[in-house]
Structure 1
Amino acid sequence: MSRTSTSTKALARSYRAERTLTFVLGLLGLLAGVAALVVSLGWLGGFRAQRPILDPIAVDWLGTRPVLAKTVAIVVGVLLLVFGLWWFVRSLRPEGRPDIELDRSVGSELTVTSGAIASAVQADAESVQGVHRARVRAVGDPADPALRISIWLREGSDLRAVWEELDTTVLTRARESLGIEALPTAVRLELDAAERRRVR
């Protein structure tokens, strides 16, 4: 897997398949609409423009073979139903939370859960000066884990100093602890609102 595709996991859950299907269906609908418009305007001949949408020859042919027509309609309907249910379940599938195996030796297996990874990185991030609170989520799969970090800064925090400490301390420590060279990370920074003071 390329570094670019791996890094996108840290930004947000991938909806590439959903977008591809939507694009293909939209493209097919657009082509069908253009074809109907071309025919109805008579660009392919006046005779074709005056004919009904359902070709009488095709309707007569299907009328003489009702069993075949019904069988094909039922099979297509069942396939579309199965595909729709599969797509529905796939879209609602929860995002992967990787558990990383640090040692696979028999009798001394060591696995770090995604919750432990997130808690450790969150504790490190909240210890950075200027950080009010943090929320960390480990995403992806065990082979290509990634982090999604949300940081809330205190008012007056030095953004550059916070960013440098996150990069050189928190994320470096996470990579070294997990024994991996690359840990794609998306960091979202927010500034806490100042406390409101009542004017007397």
Structure 2
Amino acid sequence: MRAVLRGVNRVLIGVVGLLLVVLGGSVLAVGLGVRPPAWWIYGGPHDVLLGVARRTRWRETGWWWPTVIAVLAVLVLLALWWLIAVLRRRRLAEVLVDTGDGEGALLRGRALESVLTDEATRLDGVAYAQATLTGRRGAPKARVRLRMEPDVDPGTALHELITEPLTHARESAGLAALPAEVRLKAVKHRAERVS
């Protein structure tokens, strides 16, 4: 699901960016004296985007301007929400390690992710592993994706993941708990012709 959202996000950013470049470039070109096509929004450098006739056309109807303002406000709020969602970090940058002296130390999140990934990859029957840390630095959460060989029991693989890599990570970082979301997927082998 995240891959789909990431793809949609990139397409939307690309389309909006392209639209803004085309519109901004056309406004600049017309302002510098390039003659626009007859169907274009405005005709020259001294033309306005909304003339008096267009602005006052709906003046008698009381719903027009409140509707326009409401739609523009919703678009601004959606754009702000989108910007915050894009800028928000998905991964945990650092983990607060309790050193026992009341001070604490900071461990890079990528380092702990790398160790989790390496240990999970070494488990029996695991073809591929990826670990990601989310949450707060004092209370991290792990997301682990495992691609399993077809003949491996998922329950056994999950038990090994919990008792080995996740327990090692929790103990080495001095965490009281390390909740984890684990996704298991089977490797799909292509059929081969036997002669």
User: How far apart, in 2, do the equivalents of 1:159 and 1:135 lie?
Assistant: 16
User: Aligned match of 2:174 in 170, 179, 185?
Assistant: 179
User: How far apart, in 2, do the equivalents of 1:103 and 1:122 lie?
Assistant: 22
1:84 aligned partner: 78
2:165 aligned partner: 170
Q: Which amino acid aligns with 2:171?
A: E
User: How far apart, in 1, do the equivalents of 2:99 and 2:174 lie?
Assistant: 13
- 5+ long unaligned stretches in structure 2: 3-58
Alignment partner of 2:87: what SS? coil
User: How far apart, in 1, do the equivalents of 2:73 and 2:150 lie?
Assistant: 57
State the shift of 1:111 in Å: 2.0
Deviations 1:153-198, CA, capped at 9 Å, x for gaps: 1231233321211111111111111111221211111111235321
Q: Which amino acid aligns with 2:177?
A: A
On the 8 A contact 1:136/1:150 being kept in 2, the answer is yes
Alignment partner of 1:92: what SS? helix
Q: State the structure with bigger RCO (CA 8 A, min sep 6), 1 or 2.
A: 1
1:93 aligns to 2:87 (yes or no): yes
Alignment partner of 1:138: what SS? strand
1:135 aligns to 2:133 (yes or no): no
Residues 198 and 143 of structure 1, relative CA distance in 2, 3 Å threshold = same
State the shift of 1:89 in Å: 1.0
User: How far apart, in 1, do the equivalents of 2:99 and 2:155 lie?
Assistant: 40
On the 8 A contact 1:139/1:147 being kept in 2, the answer is yes
User: How far apart, in 1, do the equivalents of 2:75 and 2:182 lie?
Assistant: 40
Alignment partner of 1:181: what SS? coil
- 5+ long unaligned stretches in structure 1: 1-11, 13-61
State the shift of 1:83 in Å: 2.4
User: Aligned match of 1:111 in 90, 106, 121?
Assistant: 106
Deviations 1:118-174, CA, capped at 9 Å, x for gaps: 111011111111111101111122133111111111231233321211111111111
2:116 aligned partner: 121
Deviations 1:60-90, CA, capped at 9 Å, x for gaps: xx96xx9xx97x7897677545423322212
Percent identity among equivalent residues?
Answer: 25
2:147 aligned partner: 152
Alignment RMSD? 3.3
Residues 131 and 80 of structure 1, relative CA distance in 2, 3 Å threshold = closer
User: How far apart, in 2, do the equivalents of 1:182 and 1:88 lie?
Assistant: 32
Residues 79 and 169 of structure 1, relative CA distance in 2, 3 Å threshold = same
* Residues paired across the two proteins, number: 135
Alignment partner of 2:166: what SS? helix
2:39 aligned partner: none
TM-score under structure 2 length normalisation: 0.56
